[in-house]
Amino acid sequence: MSDAYLALETGDVVEARARAPGAARGELVFTTAYTGYEESLTDPSYEAQVLTFSYPLIGNYGVREERFESERVHPYAVVAREMTDDVAEWLDAEGVPAVDHVDTRDLVTDIRDGGAMKVGISAGDEASPEEAKAQLDSCPHMSDLTDIGADVSVEEPIHYEGSGARVALIDCGAKGSIVESLTARNADVHVLPYDATADDVEALDPDVLFISNGPGDPANFEAAQALVEHFTGELPIAGICLGQQVVARALGGTTEKMDFGHRGVNQPVLDHDTGRVVMTTQNHGYTVDEPGDLTVTQVNVNDDTPEGLDSAEYGILTRQYHPEANPGPHDTLDFFDEVLELAEGRTVTA
């Protein structure tokens, strides 16, 4: 008898094995990465989602805290084909329900055919299909999570001292590797809450405003968008992932929800200026539809969605993918050099 159940929006109920007990609900998404499960599970961009791993074995090199991208696991639940005891025990200690013995490749196919969908999960000795369906019925849409930034952002400013350009990093759910990529280049990084005000930023007298990645609908990050609107033309501005979407919205652009997003470590991106294609790490369910006053400089090879935006006039540089990787290829780490050159007033080649 199974001791875990997944209730899908399709009406299907999938039986599974409980590895960490509990009940959960969220948007069912996947990653195709075959390494980097520690980084993915601690990526704040997965907040309020249920993460499915398409790779069949998760946990084959243990759990190491030095690889974490934040202080906790962010998906509300985890689904795998097979999960090692190390990962299961970690998730159990975090209070995150986890299940395996699921044909995750079939599940990923369902997501690709029907789009990201809501799911309810019931796992453990008292698990039942009815509880899973009840979780599904009470699951909100991602766009309804209007204050999700509060769940992933720092509550108070944090300062990482450096001798270089001063960066005001708006934490909408920033991965730790973004901070590390900046501090490794001697940047003086001030991490501010997602709802920071223009006065908060001005008090730092920064050289660049940087909007981080984060979960959910960019339309719900109104404070960050207001900062971009306020400082456009006054400060250089950079953004990653959700940050690109927020910047685009502030410059008259629009965003839209994708069917199932880009999630993995092998997304090909074409740079219009150089003709070069690089492999990138991505994790997002929304994309820029119209770029507004910005220029599209890079696109996804698979679907032509914008991957890079810039404005020489306003000193703006953004990327939809994760240049810091972790996990994934390091083809685009030079983005951080370009941002810091922008902050120092030098010419940037996007």
Whose CA is closest to 80, among 49, 44, 51? Answer: 51
User: What does the domain layout of the chain look like in residue ranges?
Assistant: 4-140, 149-343
CATH class in words for 4-140: alpha beta
Which residues of the chain are modeled with pLDDT < 50? 346-350
Decide if 32 contacts 81 (C-beta within 8 A): no
- The predicted pLDDT at position 2 comes to 77
- The predicted pLDDT at position 193 comes to 98
Share of the chain above pLDDT 70, in %: 98
**Residue 128 assigned as binding residue:** no
**Residue 242 assigned as binding residue:** yes
Whether 155 is catalytic: no
Whether 139 is catalytic: no
**Residue 315 assigned as binding residue:** no
Span 231-271, pLDDT tens digits: 999 999 999 999 999 999 999 999 999 999 999 999 999 99
- The predicted pLDDT at position 350 comes to 38
Whether 241 is catalytic: yes
Span 54-101, pLDDT tens digits: 999 999 999 999 999 999 999 999 999 999 999 999 999 999 999 999
- The predicted pLDDT at position 331 comes to 85
- What kind of architecture, by CATH, is found in domain 149-343? 3-Layer(aba) Sandwich (3.40)
**Residue 320 assigned as binding residue:** no
Residues with Cβ within 8 Å of residue 142, at least 6 apart in sequence: 27, 48, 49, 215, 216, 217, 257, 285
Decide if 288 contacts 305 (C-beta within 8 A): yes
27, 38, 307, 324: the active-site residue: 324
Place of tokens 């202080």: 71
Output the pTM of the full model. Answer: 0.95
27, 241, 262, 284: the active-site residue: 241
**Residue 45 assigned as binding residue:** yes
CA angle at 296 for the pair 293 and 302, rounded to the nearest 5°: 145
**Residue 216 assigned as binding residue:** yes
**Residue 286 assigned as binding residue:** yes
